[in-house]
A and B are shown apart, each in its own frame.
Chain A
Amino acid sequence: MRLLISDNSKYDQYLRGEAKLTDTEEFGRKLFMAHPDVKVSLRGGNCIDCHSQFLTSGFRDGLDGFSNNGLDSDEDLHEGLMALTKDPLDRGLFKVPTLRNIAVTAPYMHDGRFATLEEVMEHYNSGIKISDTLSPLILEADNQKADPDQATGLQLHDDEVQAIIAFLHTLTDENFLTNSKFSNPFEASK
């Protein structure tokens, strides 16, 4: 049963050809969907490597929807998926959540360590901690790329970070959030 479906965000309207994104949102959408490749001068936020392009959730094939996104180094890496599979390859892997309505569902990360989307972006941009099971895609995704040993994140410019956040706001579905049919059935409706 999937009765609560958010499908009327600005991004959905854009996908259906009903709405246009602003220049900033469109810039952010392109960065969201791109894995950076310095060799061909492609800049990217690398989001799509874990957040699927239309659903923005983790991948659904097997355990593909779990990832180590560089929150902690090996010494204090949480157990994550390994608690279930007992496979050391799965240490520190957590479920990639959907980004729909992400702007209104703080705090962020599996332990809620970040309060704002700005903090989340700062993590991906310059706060990546290296560990053995860290996703190679996160480690390798660097828009400046000189020395991979120095990699700490995407190294995007401020306007690029702001554009991605603007795009994330297009995933907010007011219709879904305020629909009285989806409200608490045990409270009297207003």
Chain B
Amino acid sequence: MMHQRYMILGAALLISAFAALKAYDWLYPAKTSVKLVFHAEVDGSPFQRNEFAYSNPGGDGQFRIRDFRFYLSNFRLEGSDGLIQSIPDSYHLARFDNAENSYVLEFDDLPVQQLQSISFAIGVDAAANTSIQTRGDLDPNSQMAWNWKVGYKFVLFEGAMQRDGKQTPLVYHVGFSDNMRRLTFDMATPMELVQGAQLDFTVDVMKLFDSTSTVDMARLSSVKFDKADARMLAENYRTMIALKAQ
């Protein structure tokens, strides 16, 4: 008899301990992390620097890429339970001059368990753009700074055009707070942010010149401070990042 009573007591203890653990999990869910990988490409071709490998989308000539980089900012993750996590001071300079031609970002310590959507901006918000405070990858002494009156270049493309055996420089520096573009990507199905969770994006450089507007890069070989040209390229770069199927 005694024996049976102990068994029941033991089982009850086990069950309550288990219930307590479940409640703890529910009250204090484990922190998650996610890795974002941005893969540069050019209209489906591999991204390479220094080869005249790409065709001018709006006219004659072949172009090459010397430098391509841009700011990503204001990351916001939304969970399937409606929980929204904004990443503080998230100003990240994406550059692709590495062996993989990719840019990797990692966010740790997230409360989001199941990712429903992710949102971020190409460019920098007006408050940070007009400040000389360093935060994230914003640095007023960096190559991306114009000067403290104008703010940052959001997207930088430098290279050269080859036409009729002649080379001419290509310089596209797009900035101004109005030209920040926010992108939102919804998951087809909520994504469990378990160990090793990774989202892959493609960055199609060609979209900068061939999207909403098609640019003849031989005619418009540089964009810097002309507001209309900058806005046109901003409308184009709005479409350059795509989420790869998971």
B101 to nearest A CB, angstroms?
A: 14
Give every chain B residue within 8 A of A88 (Cβ-Cβ).
Answer: 50
- B141 and A55 within 8 A (CB): yes
- B158 and A136 within 8 A (CB): yes
Q: Which among B140, B171, B173 has the greatest number of chain A C-beta atoms within 10 A?
A: B171
**Contact A136-B226, Cβ < 8 Å, known A55-B141, A59-B142:** no
Q: B148 in the interface, Cβ–Cβ < 8 Å?
A: yes
Query: Beta-carbon contacts of A70-107 to B below 8 Å, as 1s and 0s?
Result: 00000000000000000011000000000000000000
**Contact A140-B166, Cβ < 8 Å, known A52-B141, A60-B141, A89-B49:** no
Segment at the B interface, from A29-37, A116-124, A179-187: A29-37
Give every chain B residue within 8 A of A137 (Cβ-Cβ).
Answer: 158, 169, 171
**Contact A37-B225, Cβ < 8 Å, known A148-B169, A149-B168:** yes
Which range contains the number of A residues in contact with the other chain? 20 to 34
- B224 and A37 within 8 A (CB): yes
Query: Beta-carbon contacts of A127-151 to B below 8 Å, as 1s and 0s?
Result: 0000000001101100000001100
Give every chain A residue within 8 A of B139 (Cβ-Cβ).
Answer: 61
- B225 and A40 within 8 A (CB): yes
- A140 and B222 within 8 A (CB): yes
Which of B31-78 touch A at CB < 8 Å? 49-50, 66
Nearest B residue to A139 via CB reads B169
Number of interface residues of B (CB under 8 A): 29
Picked from B50, B142, B221, the residue with its CB within 8 Å of the CB of A52 is B142
Which of A39-69 touch B at CB < 8 Å? 39-40, 42, 48, 52-55, 57, 59-62, 64
Nearest A residue to B159 via CB reads A136
- A136 and B147 within 8 A (CB): no
Picked from A61, A136, A149, the residue with its CB within 8 Å of the CB of B143 is A61
Q: B215 in the interface, Cβ–Cβ < 8 Å?
A: no
B143 to nearest A CB, angstroms?
A: 5
Nearest B residue to A149 via CB reads B166
Which of B94-118 touch A at CB < 8 Å? 97
Nearest B residue to A134 via CB reads B169
Give every chain A residue within 8 A of B234 (Cβ-Cβ).
Answer: none
- A148 and B221 within 8 A (CB): yes
- B226 and A148 within 8 A (CB): no
- A53 and B160 within 8 A (CB): no
Picked from A35, A89, A136, the residue with its CB within 8 Å of the CB of B169 is A136
Give every chain B residue within 8 A of A61 (Cβ-Cβ).
Answer: 93, 139, 142-143
Query: Beta-carbon contacts of B204-245 to A below 8 Å, as 1s and 0s?
Result: 000000000000000001101110010000000000000000
Picked from B93, B171, B224, the residue with its CB within 8 Å of the CB of A136 is B171
Nearest A residue to B145 via CB reads A53
Q: How far is the CA of A88 from the CA of B49 in the complex (A)?
A: 11
B146 to nearest A CB, angstroms?
A: 8
- B168 and A53 within 8 A (CB): no
- A59 and B160 within 8 A (CB): no
Q: What are 16 A-B contacts with C-beta separation under 8 Å?
A: A33-B147, A34-B147, A35-B224, A37-B222, A39-B224, A40-B224, A48-B146, A54-B141, A55-B141, A64-B143, A136-B169, A137-B158, A137-B171, A139-B169, A148-B168, A148-B221
Instruction: For the A-B complex with A37-B222, A60-B142 known, give 9 more contacts whose Cβ atoms are closer than 8 Å.
Output: A35-B146, A37-B225, A39-B229, A40-B226, A53-B140, A89-B66, A137-B169, A140-B169, A149-B168
- 4 smallest CB-CB distances across A and B, nearest first, come from A52-B141, A136-B169, A140-B169, A33-B147
